[in-house]
Structure 1
């Protein structure tokens, strides 16, 4: 037998307060991913770190926060405890204790534990977001996901304010955000409905139950990987592309800010559209229309470049929440596990691909490599998207 977080009839009402609480928790959780970069330069000086050591700290945070998600997703599908959400913001707050570490090894261990909290948070929160959204699951999950994007920006702003105002010693103050928001979730986390299915399910039985779903889930995962890789290439290298093309540093910074702002709006509206038109159609459209629009961005000058970049961001991010909901609906007995695969694992692999593209850019120029990589990756995603499983819209 397999298990699921909930097989009881789901509430058909869109629970606004519950979604709002998840958004706040997601903001707090992901804020610590934005918290680290502004303090790395000071840690390099304070702890006498090399640039590669500083980079490893950031990579370790991303690694434990992403790769750990399938493990916690598998675990969450069995324990079905909503309070696991609390471990995300609380664990993330460990980042603020880096200033107390006496050696590099302890810093790596601390950052690994901080990422582990996030790995626990995302699969559980994704399932609850769908569960409490009634018939508007696409919208609910998309709003929840948008909270994470907002959190990264807020975390970076808080971290920058603390270090520029009071110095590195003030960083632990930022840990209060995770504690204040995380601890109440031990008591107020949205309830995960119980199931009559047994909890004693081993790994082999899980693989067996997923065997018939390998092909549709793999296609969904690959399409999402292509889309995520494209958006990560833009968010990572667009400022550099603008500067390399003769623009100012300020123009480069504004380009990515506007791209991500439009992306957040597009993600929420895409979730709404997926509830009306279907997840499959939104996933196909996100790449089918988003890639050509993004391609035009590299062919025009300002102000059209910014307009097309924002439009591309909205379109490309429109399937973000819908893709997670889609996977949950295809594999309803493994919602947390498939959510982890669609979010954390995809994000981490997309980051690695982005690094590879950067290395190629060092050889052939980012002005050439970035557009080619985006069009090639996006085109593969478009072709694969037409193999997405059909939905039962009854």
Structure 2
């Protein structure tokens, strides 16, 4: 496997891990600064706001500029933002904006990179692995947060991830430059061949010959009925996942759970999500993207209702674990559906738009969730369940694949 592919996954891991630091330490920030849940929701919306605002234009740019340059630029900005959050606490808000701006670069570029080099027969699996590399960063952020907090407080967590992001910048630069060609992607398929193929001298702007290039303007492709349905579905998924990711440690903490245990339970959900991303990708390749989208959205809604009514710790942990599999399992299906509904030649633009919509809907759900939590933190569960149920209903309108 080409070393540049592993560099891409490494950057995804560091990027998403740093972006997830705030939810892991949010309960302590609330206590230190005496924030209300509503204010905490606004603070938590900064990074999703940047991701939602910048990912679409960055996705468009990524169809024209070498991916390797943009990937390194993004992780460097994230590193700077994390250092500022740790060393200058009075600049926490500007530092979160920096992390959000840098983080917005990775996703449309990284997913476009993977989609361009994956063969049709294994695209679901390839996108599942790509998604899981970021989820592993989220998992690491939650697992590491507890021990680091006990040593140096919540600021030490940002400092740690700042160093990791800076290291990944230098390592990836060495790998990309060592290949002698930062303007090319690897054309080796990521899918089902048993032996490794040598890279072809293809440009980043060219898709593998097995991928279909659909004619039409970018706007006309994005305004197709199927593409619009997928955008709404992705926005629904983003609203649910961002809401749960942001508030689950806080909900558990204010129910009397120790912060380390609360982060560990959330880490279990992310770990299950890693399994769900890979498992979902394989199921997509076997049963089709539409069917798996419906199954996972419906399962998520049922599990969220269960989390609201069940109070015992062990059943709650089991539900949260299954919820991770269901929520993360949807992503490979939606990425594949979007590529098929539009064109591989605008994959950076279409993925950037999806990610922006997911983040913008996440801002709305976080803000509404903060208001609901003023009455009861548990209200985020039925709120998220209603959105997931809407996604299940809407997925029945997708074209069969």
**1:195-344 superposed matches below 5 A:** 195=205, 207-210=218-221, 213-239=223-249, 248-249=257-258, 252-300=262-310, 302=312, 303-332=314-343, 333-344=345-356
Residue 180 (structure 1) aligned to one of 156, 162, 167: 167
C-alpha contact 1:89 1:182 (8 A) present in aligned 2? yes
C-alpha contact 2:41 2:367 (8 A) present in aligned 1? no
Deviations 1:226-281 (A, max 9, x none): 2332333333444565577x764476555433222212211111011112222222
Q: 5+ unaligned residues in a row in structure 2: which ranges?
A: 177-181, 186-201, 208-215
Q: CA deviation at 1:360?
A: 2.4
1:387 is matched with: 397
Q: CA deviation at 1:381?
A: 1.0
Deviations 1:318-360 (A, max 9, x none): 1123312321232222111111222243034223213203312
Q: Which region of structure 1 is more displaced relative to structure 2, 264-273 or 301-310?
A: 301-310
Residue 65 (structure 1) aligned to one of 46, 51, 62: 51
Structure-2 change in CA distance of 1:375 and 1:50 (3 Å): closer
Deviations 1:167-193 (A, max 9, x none): 768965643322221234346458334
Counterpart Cα distance in 1 of 2:175 and 2:272? 32
1:353 is matched with: 365
Structure-2 change in CA distance of 1:180 and 1:234 (3 Å): closer
Residue 143 (structure 1) aligned to one of 129, 132, 146: 129
Q: CA deviation at 1:154?
A: 2.9
TM-score, normalization by structure 2 = 0.75
Counterpart Cα distance in 2 of 1:162 and 1:254? 13
Counterpart Cα distance in 2 of 1:263 and 1:314? 5
Residue 20 (structure 2) aligned to one of 20, 28, 34: 34
Residue 126 (structure 1) aligned to one of 111, 130, 146: 111
C-alpha contact 1:159 1:171 (8 A) present in aligned 2? no
TM-score, normalization by structure 1 = 0.76
Q: CA deviation at 1:124?
A: 1.0
C-alpha contact 1:92 1:118 (8 A) present in aligned 2? yes
Structure-2 change in CA distance of 1:131 and 1:346 (3 Å): same
Give the SS at the match of 1:79.
coil
**Total equivalences in the alignment:** 362
Q: Which region of structure 1 is more displaced relative to structure 2, 232-241 or 343-352?
A: 232-241
C-alpha contact 1:19 1:140 (8 A) present in aligned 2? no
Counterpart Cα distance in 2 of 1:308 and 1:40? 23
Structure-2 change in CA distance of 1:94 and 1:69 (3 Å): same
Q: 5+ unaligned residues in a row in structure 1: which ranges?
A: 1-14, 198-204
Structure-2 change in CA distance of 1:319 and 1:76 (3 Å): same
Q: Which region of structure 1 is more displaced relative to structure 2, 343-352 or 168-177?
A: 168-177
